[in-house]
């Protein structure tokens, strides 16, 4: 029996890009997966996109949302992990379109004791606008179309589109955490639980994925290179607000000075917070009949 994979798609107020990503996931050759949309506080348009794809029934689609209180990618990914049921979590950004064999490639590369990091092709602003405005399917384009787009300056490189069986070469940088990005990363659920997931003390853009990679390696999990197998198509977007990056850099420096493996504010803390939220939302049960008789 094929083991379930959970694809956790992080998004924030970009329903057109999310629609393109979910469309790419809907045409996967490997259907043994579920989608958990990790929504960092988007408006109702995003929920409508998720509901539409969930209604198509191609694969299970779930929507995990929390209030918009700034860039909290680490926390919303943790909330999505807690909703996920797969034995592997593939983290994918909501503006990174997967090609048809994306899930199959990640499944083939999955191996106990290793997490997999992929790469991406960056589309230009003009190419991105054309794709989204016309509902184009770049994940299905043949190589000749990509060559033409590259000559026109619409894409930064083509190497991630090429499939090469690298074999043992994929393990050459097993202890290198630099460049490990959660826009295209696969981690075993059991390993995520052991390191307590992402650390939600990282808020604002940047380095929460580096922190996760470092702690996974301390736990004994090594990095496997997913290049030339799992490349995705990254739609253009304006640069994120990086005003909190210096704080995150200081947090990462502190992580590197100690041998801590578990997140300071990880899955266990978020799970407790969710339990509290659910209790607050649940109305109190009515008193038993004898109470009504005593006070009626």
| Domain spans in the chain, listed from the N-terminal domain onward | 5-295
Question: Which strands make up the sheet holding 96-98, listed edge to edge?
Answer: 96-98, 232-234, 120-122
Spatial neighbors of 254 by CB under 8 A, at least 6 apart, are none
At residue 288, the pLDDT reads 55
170 vs 166: CA distance, rounded Å:
6
Domain 5-295 adopts which CATH fold? Spore Coat Polysaccharide Biosynthesis Protein SpsA; Chain A (3.90.550)
Instruction: Provide the residue-wise pLDDT of the chain in tens; the chain has 296 residues.
Output: 689 999 999 999 999 999 999 999 999 999 999 999 999 999 999 999 999 999 999 999 999 999 999 999 999 999 999 999 999 999 999 999 999 999 999 999 999 999 999 999 999 999 999 999 999 999 999 999 999 999 999 999 999 999 999 999 999 999 999 888 999 999 999 999 999 999 999 999 999 999 999 999 999 999 999 999 999 999 999 988 899 999 999 999 999 999 999 999 999 999 998 888 888 876 655 555 544 333 33
121 vs 130: CA distance, rounded Å:
16
Decide if 8 contacts 79 (C-beta within 8 A): no
At residue 240, the pLDDT reads 86
């Amino acid at each position: 029996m094929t083991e379930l994979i959970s694809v956790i798609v992080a998004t924030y107020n970009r329903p057109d890009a999310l629609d393109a990503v979910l469309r790419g996931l809907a045409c996967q050759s490997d259907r043994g997966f579920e989608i958990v949309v990790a929504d960092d506080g988007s408006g109702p348009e995003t929920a409508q996109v998720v509901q539409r794809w969930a209604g198509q029934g191609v694969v299970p689609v779930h929507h995990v949302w929390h209030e918009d209180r700034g860039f909290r990618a680490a926390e919303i990914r943790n909330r999505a992990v807690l909703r996920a049921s797969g034995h592997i979590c593939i983290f994918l950004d909501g503006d990174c379109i997967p090609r048809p064999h994306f899930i199959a490639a990640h499944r083939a590369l999955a191996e106990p004791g290793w997490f997999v990091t992929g790469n991406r092709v960056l589309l230009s602003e003009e190419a991105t606008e054309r794709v989204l405005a016309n509902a184009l399917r770049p994940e299905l384009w043949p190589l000749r179309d990509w060559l033409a787009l590259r000559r026109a300056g619409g894409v930064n490189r083509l190497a991630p589109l090429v499939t090469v069986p690298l074999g043992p070469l994929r393990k050459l940088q097993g202890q290198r955490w630099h460049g490990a990005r959660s826009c295209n990363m696969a981690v075993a659920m059991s390993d995520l639980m052991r390191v307590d997931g992402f650390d939600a003390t990282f808020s604002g853009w940047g380095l929460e994925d580096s922190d996760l990679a470092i702690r996974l390696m301390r736990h004994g999990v090594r990095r496997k290179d997913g290049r030339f197998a799992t490349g995705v198509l990254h739609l253009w977007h304006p640069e994120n607000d990086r005003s909190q990056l210096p704080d995150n850099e200081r947090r990462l420096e502190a992580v590197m000075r100690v041998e801590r493996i578990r997140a300071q504010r990880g899955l266990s803390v978020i799970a407790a917070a969710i339990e509290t939220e659910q209790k607050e939302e649940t109305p109190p049960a009515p008193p038993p009949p004898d109470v009504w008789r005593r006070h009626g």
